[in-house]
RNA sequence: GCCCGGAUGGCGGAAUCGGCAGACGCGACGGACUCAAACUCCGUUGCCCGAAAGGGUGUGCGGGUUCAAGUCCCGCUCCGGGCACCA
C-alpha cells in the first residue's frame, strides 16, 4: 500500500516526497483507515462473539494493557492528556511484535457533573453533550494512531453498560461479610444460618431469636448485614453541588474536590458500601501488586489501620456508666491523668453534673484548678459550659481548626472517671481534638507520652506522669530527667521500658513496650476491663448522590420504607426523562436535599409482582412500590469497566468466565505476579486512593462471589507524569496567549512588551493550551507521539516545549530520506550485506531498545534509534543507499513509537502485510561480541589516560598495559606506587604514596 | 508537624553492582549549500585558566566512608506530592 503522490506540483523547490507535515498526515490518514478496514487491532477472545480469529493467535500469550478511563470533557484534549495513552500504545505494539495477543481498548467514563451542570444551564440533555464530547475525543485519539480494539470501547452511560453496573450493585446488596471465612457470601446464606439456628441472632435483637422476630425486625436485622445498606450517619453535604460526597471527595480544608465548594457535616440517610469489611484485605493484598511504594503507602495511610486495645473506664457517682476508650498504647494506662470525650460523645449529657463538684466555686479552697473551667469561668454551670463549648467547637470551620494548629481547647465536664488499673480519679474533659468518628470517640489522656495530650495538659495545668523510661539520648537532648516531668518540653512518644506501672495484681515495670502492651492487654481481658482491638480511619463508602446524570439504583421501597432489590431480570432501570436536571436546594439548612429524579413523574412509582420470602414483604402478588431517587456516584461505572472491555457484547453475564480468565488470570503463577489482573494499568497518581480503592473493593466482592478469578484487578500500576507548560502574564498580571510569546536573550516578550513567565497546568485560564490537533497539523501524529515519548521518562512530569519538537521531526525526516529518494519516491536500499560496523551497531541497538521497551524507558530507546539512524545517514551519504537489513531493522524498531511512517516504509520496502505482527528484531549474539575495549587509567583517582586491551585481559595484563602507557609512565615515574587497583573490563587506578 | 519523591550544562534529560559525568535532543556558535533566506548537511559546545599542548574545577549545601561517590552514610536547604489533632 502506497499513498498517491501529491497531485499538485510543489510550490517551491522542496523535494516532492520530503517527509513534512503534509506527507506525514496523508500517510497517517491512509494507515488509520487501513487499520480500521482490516481490523488490525481487534484482539480475539478465546470464545464468544469476539472470538473470530482466535485460532491464529492461540499460541500467543495474552497481555492486557489498560489506560485509566477518561472523562470526555467538552474542552477536548490538550497535548498532556494523551501522554499515557501513547505510552500504553507503544508498549502494546511492542508486545504484539514480541508474540502477544494484546487487548488494548479505550472507553469513556461519561456520567458526571460537568455535562449535568451544562444541562442545568442550557436545558440541553446531558446525553446530547456527552455524546458530542465522546465523538470529538474519539476523533482526536484516532488521529494519534492508537491501536485500540474499537469494539470494546464502552461508555458508562450506555444502557447496556449501566445495566451491569446495576447488576453488580445487586450482587453487593445481596451479600454480607462472613467474618469467620473472611469473605463475602450471598445474603441467602445468612438467612439460612439464622433460620437453622447456626447463627444466633439474639445478641443483635435484644435477646429475641430469629423465630421470635416479626417480619419487620427480620428485615431490619438482615439489612444491617448487607454490603450495600442505607445508613444514617453524619455525611459530607455540599450545598454548592446540591449533593453529598464521599470522604475521599472532600479535601483537607473541608471543601469539595470538584468545584471547591464548602462541605458541611450533617446526618442524612444515604446508601453506604461496607468497604470497611475489606480493610485488612485491601492492606494485605497490596503486597501482591507491582505498584510503586508511594501509592501503596497512600492506600495504607488512607485505610489507617491501628492495632491497640479498648479499655473501659468507670465514672464516679454513675455506677451504670462506662466509657470505652481506644488506645494504641495500653502500656501507658498507668500514666492516664485525665480523659477526653469528643464534644458530640453520647455519654456527655449523662455524666455532666448540674453544679461543679464540692466547694470548687471558692478558688481559695478549690481542688479544681482555675484553668480547668476554661474560657467560660466559674460562674457558668457545667451543663452550660458544655453547651457553650459545643457551640464554639461546631461553629469552627475545618480551616479555622487547622489555622489554630496545636492550640488545644476544651472544657472540664465536672465529672470524674476511674482509672481501672489504679482506681485513680481522673477528670473528664470534652475537647475537639478528640474526634467523634474515630475509635470510640473518647480517649484516656497520657500527657507524658502523647504530643496532643501533652499540649492539652500544659494548657489546662494537668498532671503529667511518666510511665515509660525515655532513652538516654532523648533525656540528654531535652536536658530533663525521667522521674520529674515538670520541666519536660515535649512528650516522650517512643518505645522504652515501663516504669511506675504496677498495682497489687500486675506490674509492667521493667518490661519493654511490646511486652508491656501484651501483659496489660492480657490482664485487662482477664479482668473484663478491656480487650485487644483494631480500628481503621477508613469509613464505609457513601454511595448515593442527589444528581440526575448517574446510574439509577435498582432498588424500590415498599410501605415499610425499607429497600427491596429488583430482580436481575428487570434490569436495566433506565434513567427517566426529566425537564429539570438541577437538585433542589432548600433555604432551610436542615431540609433534605431533593434529587432531580424525585420529580420524575410516572417513573417514581411502579407496580411489581416480586417473588421472595413473605417475611421480606415479597411474594404477596402485585404491589405498588416507590423507586429510589438517588443515583450512583461517578466512581461506580469506573469500578469495573476493565471487566466489560473483555466481553462488551455479552448479554448473559458481565463477562464470560473463560474470557475473563484468559485475559485476567494470565499474569499469575510466574513467580512474580501473585495477584493476577490487568498486566499494565497506566494513569495519573490523582486516583491513588479514590478510584483504585473502590475498584479493588468491588473486584474483591466479585471475586468472593465467584464472578472473577483474580483477587486483584490491576497487577502492575504505572503512574505517568504530567505535561505542564509555561504561562505568561503581562504587567497587570493578566495571562497572555502563551503561543505568541517569544524569547530574546533570556527575556520573554509579547510583541515589544516584556512578560513574566510562570509554570503550571495546561488550561484555558492560563492561556497556555497546546492541542494535539495543532501539533499533527504542523508535524504529523508520529512526530507528536515520538516527542511525547522522548521528552523524558514516562513517570516524570515535564514542561511542554513546542520548539523542541523539531528534533524528533528531523529524525523521522532523516529516516525517511535514508530509505526513500525524496525526489523520485524510489526505495533507496541495496541488497548487498551491511558493513560490519553497521551490523554491530544495529545489534547493540536492538539489545538496548528491547530492554528499554520492556521497562517502558521509551526516551532512551528513542535515543538509541537516533544514534543508529545518524550512523545510517553517514552510510547512505558514503554509499548512496541504505543496506536493506539495516533499513528494515530500524523500521521495525521504530514501529511501536511511530507506527504510520514505519508501516509506510515497510510497505515500500516490499512487504504487503501490516508490520503490526512482524517479529521485533532479535539481536545476533555473535555480533555483540567485542574483542577489545578501551579502559580508563586513573592516577590517584583522576582520569589520566586510556588503553585499549583485549576484553579477556586479567588484572595483571591490564596493569602492565597501563604502565606501558607513555603518559602514565611519566606520571608514576619517581613516585611510590602504594597500591594498584585493576578491575578487569573496568579501569586501572594507581595510588601514589 | 509527619510521611513519600526530587535537585545533574542555557533547557529537556542520560549514566546496571560505587568504576571515563553530561548519551540523545533542543538552543547557541562556526562552516557548507544559496543571489539571499528558509530547509538540509558538517563541525564545536559544562565552567575557569591557556595561543596550543595541557591544567584546574564540576552532579542543591556541609561533613564522612572509599583507591574511586551523581550513586553509599550523617546533618541541612529548597522544590513537588500525600496526610493533617486518627489516640
A477 CA, B76 C1': Å apart: 19
A929 CA, B21 C1': Å apart: 26
Q: Which residue has the higher pLDDT, A483 or A361?
A: A483
A813 CA, B43 C1': Å apart: 21
* Domain covering A932-992 assigned CATH 3.40.50.150 in the classification: no
Instruction: Assess contact for A506 and A523: CB atoms under 8 A.
Output: yes
Q: Which residue has the higher pLDDT, A94 or A235?
A: A94
Query: Residue A361 pLDDT more than 50?
Result: no
Question: Of A976, A963, A224, A239, which is closest to residue A588 (Cα–Cα)?
Answer: A239
Cell output for A853: 521497551
* Closest nucleotide to A13: CA versus each C1': B39
For chain A residues 469-528, those near strand B by a CB cutoff of 7 A are none
> Which residue pairs from A803-808 have beta carbons closer than 8 angstroms and sit at least 24 positions apart in sequence?
A805/A775, A805/A779, A808/A783, A808/A862
- Looking up cell 444502557, which residue turns up? A159
pLDDT at position A6, please?
A: 40
CA distance A730 to A750: 8
**Residues contacting A930, CB < 8 A, separation 6+:** A840, A951
* Closest nucleotide to A792: CA versus each C1': B13
Residues of chain A above pLDDT 90, percent: 57
A14 CA, B33 C1': Å apart: 14
Q: φ, ψ for residue A412 (rounded to 5)?
A: -70, 135
For chain A residues 593-622, those near strand B by a CB cutoff of 7 A are none
pLDDT at position A397, please?
A: 62
pLDDT at position A555, please?
A: 97
Mean pLDDT taken over chain A: 88
Q: Answer for A862: CB within 7 Å of strand B.
A: yes
* Closest nucleotide to A940: CA versus each C1': B67
Instruction: Return the H-helix or E-strand segment holding A187.
Output: helix A187-196
Give the model confidence (pLDDT) of A63-77 as tens digits: 999 999 999 988 889
User: Hey, is A780 helix, strand or coil?
Assistant: coil
Q: Which residue is nearest to nucleotide B85 (CA to C1')?
A: A433
* Closest nucleotide to A809: CA versus each C1': B25
- Looking up cell 465523538, which residue turns up? A135
* Domain covering A306-535 assigned CATH 3.40.50.150 in the classification: no
CA distance A952 to A693: 54
Give the model confidence (pLDDT) of A552-587 as tens digits: 999 999 999 999 999 999 989 999 988 888 777 666
Q: Answer for A796: CB within 7 Å of strand B.
A: yes
- Looking up cell 484553668, which residue turns up? A371
Give the model confidence (pLDDT) of A492-526 as tens digits: 888 889 999 999 999 999 999 999 999 999 999 99
Q: Answer for A832: CB within 7 Å of strand B.
A: no
Q: Answer for A443: CB within 7 Å of strand B.
A: yes
Q: Enumerate the β-bridge partners of residue A530.
A: A311
Q: Answer for A329: CB within 7 Å of strand B.
A: yes
H-assigned helices in A448-555: 451-460, 472-478, 513-527
* Closest nucleotide to A301: CA versus each C1': B83
Question: Distance of CA A98 to CAs A62, A85, A149, A853, A918, Å?
Answer: 11, 20, 19, 11, 8
Residue A124 neighbours by CB distance under 10 Å: 14
A934 CA, B48 C1': Å apart: 29
Average pLDDT for residues A790-813, to the nearest whole number?
Answer: 92
The model's confidence at residue A436, banded by pLDDT at 50, 70 and 90, is confident
Q: What is the dihedral of CA A812, A814, A818, A822, to 10 degrees?
A: 90
> Residue A251, class by beta-carbon neighbours within 10 Å (0-12 exposed, 13-18 middle, 19+ buried)?
exposed
- Looking up cell 472473577, which residue turns up? A708
Query: Residue A378 pLDDT more than 70?
Result: no
For chain A residues 293-312, those near strand B by a CB cutoff of 7 A are 293-294, 297-298, 301-302, 304, 306, 308
> Residue A246, class by beta-carbon neighbours within 10 Å (0-12 exposed, 13-18 middle, 19+ buried)?
buried
Give the model confidence (pLDDT) of A727-752 as tens digits: 888 888 888 888 888 777 667 888 77
A689 CA, B87 C1': Å apart: 24
Question: Of A41, A144, A141, A142, which is closest to residue A898 (Cα–Cα)?
Answer: A144
Mean pLDDT is lowest, of A251-255, A670-674, A680-684, for: A670-674
Instruction: Assess contact for A228 and A270: CB atoms under 8 A.
Output: no
pLDDT at position A107, please?
A: 96
Average pLDDT for residues A125-151, to the nearest whole number?
Answer: 94
For chain A residues 1-20, those near strand B by a CB cutoff of 7 A are 12-13, 18
Crossing angle of helices A836-854 and A858-879, in 10° steps, is 160
pLDDT at position A363, please?
A: 52
Q: Answer for A433: CB within 7 Å of strand B.
A: yes
> Residue A722, class by beta-carbon neighbours within 10 Å (0-12 exposed, 13-18 middle, 19+ buried)?
middle
Q: Which residue has the higher pLDDT, A664 or A207?
A: A664
pLDDT at position A14, please?
A: 63
A890 CA, B14 C1': Å apart: 21
CA distance A235 to A266: 5
A639 CA, B86 C1': Å apart: 27
Question: Of A151, A149, A74, which is closest to residue A110 (Cα–Cα)?
Answer: A74
Instruction: Return the H-helix or E-strand segment holding A340.
Output: strand A338-341
Instruction: Assess contact for A845 and A929: CB atoms under 8 A.
Output: no
Residue ranges, comma separated, of all CATH 3.90.740.10 domains in chain A are: 306-535
A425 CA, B62 C1': Å apart: 53
Q: Which CATH architecture has domain A1-38+804-928?
A: Orthogonal Bundle (1.10)
Strand A829-830 and strand A798-799: the pairing is: unpaired
Q: How many residues does chain A have?
A: 993
Displacement of CA A15 from its chain's centroid (Å): 50
Q: In degrees, to the nearest 5, what angle opens at C-alpha A666 toward C-alphas A660 and A671?
A: 145
Question: Distance of CA A882 to CAs A440, A870, A878, Å?
Answer: 77, 12, 10
Q: Which residue is nearest to nucleotide B87 (CA to C1')?
A: A327
* Protein-contacted bases of chain B (C-beta within 7 A): 3-5, 11-15, 19-21, 23-27, 38-42, 55-56, 67-69, 81-87
Distance between first and last Cα of chain A: 71
For chain A residues 342-371, those near strand B by a CB cutoff of 7 A are 342
* Closest nucleotide to A797: CA versus each C1': B80
Instruction: Return the H-helix or E-strand segment holding A982.
Output: strand A977-983
For chain A residues 924-943, those near strand B by a CB cutoff of 7 A are 934, 936, 938, 940-943
CA distance A747 to A728: 12
Query: Residue A265 pLDDT more than 60?
Result: yes
Q: Answer for A114: CB within 7 Å of strand B.
A: no
A778 CA, B77 C1': Å apart: 44
Instruction: Assess contact for A680 and A795: CB atoms under 8 A.
Output: no
CA distance A892 to A19: 18
pLDDT at position A5, please?
A: 41
Query: Residue A365 pLDDT more than 90?
Result: no
Give the model confidence (pLDDT) of A589-648 as tens digits: 566 678 889 888 899 999 999 988 888 888 888 999 999 999 999 899 999 999 999 999
The model's confidence at residue A138, banded by pLDDT at 50, 70 and 90, is very high
CA distance A452 to A442: 14
Strand A932-939 and strand A987-992: the pairing is: parallel
**Residues contacting A949, CB < 8 A, separation 6+:** A932, A933, A935, A957, A958, A961
- Looking up cell 515589544, which residue turns up? A752
A633 CA, B49 C1': Å apart: 68
Average pLDDT for residues A258-273, to the nearest whole number?
Answer: 81
* Closest nucleotide to A807: CA versus each C1': B25
Query: Residue A132 pLDDT more than 50?
Result: yes
Question: Distance of CA A871 to CAs A33, A708, A811, A839, A878, Å?
Answer: 34, 51, 12, 11, 11
A378 CA, B1 C1': Å apart: 34
Residue ranges, comma separated, of all CATH 3.10.20.590 domains in chain A are: 932-992
Q: In degrees, to the nearest 5, what angle opens at C-alpha A156 toward C-alphas A153 and A161?
A: 80
Residue ranges, comma separated, of all CATH 1.10.730.10 domains in chain A are: 1-38+804-928
Q: Which residue is nearest to nucleotide B84 (CA to C1')?
A: A252
Average pLDDT for residues A400-416, to the nearest whole number?
Answer: 77
Mean pLDDT is lowest, of A422-426, A591-595, A684-688, A978-982, for: A591-595
pLDDT at position A588, please?
A: 63
Instruction: Assess contact for A546 and A278: CB atoms under 8 A.
Output: no
Q: Answer for A394: CB within 7 Å of strand B.
A: no
Instruction: Assess contact for A316 and A420: CB atoms under 8 A.
Output: no
Average pLDDT for residues A431-457, to the nearest whole number?
Answer: 90
Q: Answer for A535: CB within 7 Å of strand B.
A: yes
**Residues contacting A428, CB < 8 A, separation 6+:** A315, A323, A338, A339, A340, A341, A351, A412, A413, A415, A416, A417
Q: Answer for A324: CB within 7 Å of strand B.
A: no
Q: Enumerate the β-bridge partners of residue A250.
A: A256
* Closest nucleotide to A294: CA versus each C1': B4
pLDDT at position A586, please?
A: 63
Instruction: Assess contact for A518 and A512: CB atoms under 8 A.
Output: no
Q: Answer for A803: CB within 7 Å of strand B.
A: yes
A765 CA, B45 C1': Å apart: 39
A89: left (phi over 0), alpha (psi -120 to 50) or beta: alpha
Supply the DSSP string of A385-425, one letter for each residue: HHHHHHHHHHHS-HHHHHHTTT----EEEEEEEE-TTT--E
Cell output for A603: 417513573
* Closest nucleotide to A746: CA versus each C1': B10
Q: What is the ipTM of this complex?
A: 0.95
Q: Answer for A985: CB within 7 Å of strand B.
A: no
Q: φ, ψ for residue A984 (rounded to 5)?
A: -55, 130
Cell output for A153: 470501547
CA distance A243 to A595: 8
Instruction: Assess contact for A698 and A168: CB atoms under 8 A.
Output: yes
Query: Residue A712 pLDDT more than 50?
Result: yes
Amino acid at each position: 500500500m502506497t499513498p498517491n503522490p501529491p497531485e499538485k506540483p510543489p510550490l517551491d523547490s522542496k523535494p516532492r516526497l520530503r517527509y513534512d507535515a503534509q506527507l506525514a498526515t496523508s500517510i497517517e490518514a491512509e494507515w488509520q483507515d487501513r487499520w480500521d478496514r482490516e481490523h488490525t487491532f481487534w484482539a480475539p477472545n478465546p470464545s464468544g462473539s469476539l472470538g473470530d480469529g482466535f485460532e491464529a493467535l492461540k499460541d500467543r500469550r495474552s497481555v492486557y494493557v489498560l489506560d485509566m478511563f477518561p472523562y470526555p470533557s467538552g474542552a477536548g484534549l490538550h497535548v498532556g492528556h494523551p501522554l499515557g495513552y501513547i505510552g500504553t500504545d507503544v508498549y502494546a505494539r511492542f508486545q504484539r511484535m514480541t508474540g502477544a495477543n494484546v487487548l488494548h481498548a479505550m472507553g469513556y467514563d461519561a456520567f458526571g457533573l460537568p455535562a449535568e451542570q451544562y444541562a442545568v444551564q442550557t436545558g440541553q440533555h446531558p446525553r446530547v453533550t456527552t455524546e458530542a464530547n465522546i465523538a470529538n475525543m474519539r476523533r482526536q485519539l484516532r488521529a494519534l494512531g492508537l491501536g485500540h480494539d474499537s469494539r470494546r470501547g464502552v461508555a458508562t452511560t450506555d444502557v447496556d453498560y449501566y445495566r451491569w453496573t446495576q447488576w453488580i450493585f445487586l450482587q453487593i446488596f445481596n451479600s454480607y461479610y462472613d467474618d469467620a471465612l473472611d469473605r463475602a457470601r450471598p445474603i441467602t446464606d445468612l438467612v439460612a444460618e439464622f433460620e437453622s439456628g447456626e447463627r444466633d441472632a439474639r445478641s443483635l435483637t435484644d435477646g429475641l431469636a430469629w423465630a421470635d422476630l416479626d417480619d419487620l425486625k427480620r428485615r431490619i436485622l438482615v439489612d444491617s448485614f448487607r454490603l450495600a445498606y442505607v445508613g444514617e450517619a453524619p455525611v459530607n453535604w455540599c450545598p454548592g453541588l446540591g449533593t453529598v460526597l464521599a470522604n475521599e471527595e472532600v479535601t483537607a480544608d473541608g471543601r469539595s474536590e470538584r468545584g471547591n465548594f464548602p462541605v458541611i457535616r450533617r446526618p442524612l440517610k444515604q446508601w453506604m458500601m461496607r468497604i470497611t469489611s475489606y480493610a485488612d484485605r485491601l492492606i494485605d493484598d497490596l503486597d501482591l501488586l507491582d505498584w510503586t511504594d508511594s501509592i501503596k503507602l497512600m492506600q495504607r495511610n488512607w485505610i489507617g489501620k491501628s492495632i491497640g486495645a479498648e479499655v473501659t473506664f468507670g465514672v464516679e457517682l454513675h455506677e451504670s456508666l462506662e466509657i470505652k476508650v481506644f488506645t494504641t498504647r495500653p502500656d501507658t494506662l498507668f500514666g492516664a491523668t485525665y480523659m477526653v470525650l469528643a464534644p458530640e460523645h453520647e455519654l456527655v449529657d449523662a455524666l455532666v453534673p448540674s453544679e461543679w463538684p464540692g466547694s470548687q466555686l471558692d478558688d481559695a479552697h478549690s481542688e479544681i484548678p482555675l484553668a480547668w473551667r476554661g474560657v467560660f469561668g466559674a460562674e457558668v454551670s457545667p451543663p452550660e459550659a458544655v453547651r457553650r463549648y459545643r457551640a464554639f467547637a461546631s461553629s469552627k470551620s475545618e480551616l479555622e481548626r487547622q489555622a489554630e494548629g496545636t492550640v488545644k481547647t476544651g472544657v472540664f465536664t465536672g465529672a470524674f472517671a476511674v482509672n481501672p488499673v489504679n482506681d485513680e480519679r481522673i477528670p473528664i474533659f470534652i475537647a475537639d481534638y478528640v474526634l467523634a468518628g474515630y475509635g470510640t470517640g473518647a480517649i484516656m489522656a497520657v500527657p507524658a507520652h502523647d504530643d496532643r495530650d501533652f499540649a492539652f495538659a500544659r494548657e489546662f495545668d494537668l498532671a503529667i506522669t511518666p510511665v515509660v523510661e525515655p532513652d538516654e539520648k532523648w533525656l540528654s537532648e531535652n536536658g530533663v530527667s525521667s522521674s520529674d516531668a515538670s520541666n519536660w518540653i515535649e512528650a516522650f512518644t517512643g518505645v522504652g521500658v515501663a516504669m511506675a506501672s504496677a498495682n497489687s495484681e500486675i506490674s509492667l515495670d521493667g518490661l519493654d513496650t511490646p511486652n508491656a502492651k501484651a501483659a496489660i492487654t492480657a490482664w485487662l481481658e482477664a479482668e473484663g476491663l478491656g480487650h485487644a482491638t483494631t480500628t481503621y480511619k477508613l469509613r464505609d463508602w457513601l454511595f448515593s448522590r442527589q444528581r440526575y446524570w448517574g446510574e439509577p439504583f435498582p432498588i424500590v421501597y415498599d410501605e415499610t420504607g425499607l429497600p427491596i432489590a429488583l430482580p436481575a431480570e428487570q434490569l436495566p432501570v433506565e434513567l427517566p426523562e426529566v425537564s429539570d436536571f438541577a437538585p433542589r436546594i432548600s433555604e432551610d439548612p436542615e431540609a433534605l436535599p431533593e434529587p432531580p429524579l424525585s420529580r420524575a413523574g410516572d417513573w417514581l412509582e411502579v407496580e411489581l409482582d416480586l417473588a421472595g420470602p413473605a417475611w421480606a414483604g415479597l411474594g404477596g402478588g402485585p404491589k405498588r412500590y416507590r423507586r429510589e431517587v438517588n443515583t450512583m456516584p461517578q466512581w461506580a461505572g469506573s469500578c469495573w469497566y476493565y471487566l466489560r472491555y473483555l466481553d462488551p457484547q455479552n448479554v448473559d453475564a458481565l463477562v464470560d468466565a473463560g474470557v475473563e480468565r484468559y485475559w485476567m488470570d494470565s499474569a499469575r503463577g510466574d513467580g512474580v505476579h501473585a495477584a493476577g489482573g490487568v498486566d499494565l494499568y497506566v494513569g495519573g497518581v490523582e486516583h491513588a486512593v479514590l478510584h483504585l480503592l473502590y475498584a479493588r473493593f468491588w473486584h474483591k466482592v466479585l471475586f468472593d462471589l465467584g464472578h472473577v478469578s483474580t483477587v486483584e484487578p490491576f497487577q502492575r500500576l504505572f503512574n505517568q507524569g504530567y505535561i505542564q507548560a509555561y504561562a505568561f502574564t503581562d504587567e497587570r498580571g493578566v495571562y497572555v496567549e502563551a503561543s505568541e510569546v517569544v524569547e530574546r536573550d533570556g527575556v520573554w516578550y509579547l510583541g515589544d512588551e516584556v512578560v513574566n513567565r510562570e509554570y503550571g497546568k495546561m488550561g484555558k485560564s492560563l492561556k497556555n493550551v497546546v492541542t494535539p490537533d495543532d501539533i499533527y497539523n504542523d508535524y504529523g501524529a508520529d512526530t507528536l507521539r515520538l516527542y511525547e515519548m522522548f521528552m523524558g521518562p514516562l513517570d516524570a512530569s515535564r514542561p511542554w516545549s513546542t520548539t523542541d519538537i523539531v528534533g524528533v521531526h528531523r529524525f523521522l525526516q532523516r529516516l525517511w530520506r535514508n530509505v526513500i529518494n525524496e525526489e523520485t519516491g524510489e526505495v533507496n536500499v541495496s541488497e548487498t550485506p551491511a558493513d560490519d560496523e553497521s551490523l554491530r551497531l544495529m545489534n547493540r541497538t536492538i539489545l538496548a531498545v528491547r530492554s528499554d521497551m520492556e521497562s517502558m524507558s521509551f526516551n532512551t530507546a528513542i535515543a538509541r534509534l537516533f544514534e543508529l539512524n545518524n550512523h545510517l545517514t553517514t552510510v547512505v551519504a558514503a554509499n548512496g543507499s541504505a543496506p536493506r537489513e539495516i533499513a528494515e531493522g530500524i523500521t521495525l524498531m521504530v514501529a511501536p513509537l511511530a507506527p504510520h511512517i514505519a508501516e509506510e516504509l515497510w510497505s515500500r520496502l516490499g512487504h504487503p502485510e501490516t508490520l503490526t505482527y512482524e517479529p521485533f528484531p532479535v539481536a545476533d549474539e555473535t555480533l555483540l561480541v567485542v574483542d577489545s575495549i578501551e579502559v580508563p587509567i586513573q592516577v590517584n583517582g583522576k582520569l589520566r589516560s586510556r588503553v585499549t586491551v583485549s576484553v579477556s585481559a586479567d588484572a595483571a595484563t591490564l596493569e602492565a598495559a597501563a604502565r606501558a602507557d607513555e603518559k602514565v609512565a611519566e606520571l608514576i615515574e619517581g613516585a611510590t606506587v602504594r597500591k594498584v587497583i585493576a578491575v578487569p573490563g573496568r579501569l586501572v587506578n594507581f595510588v601514589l604514596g
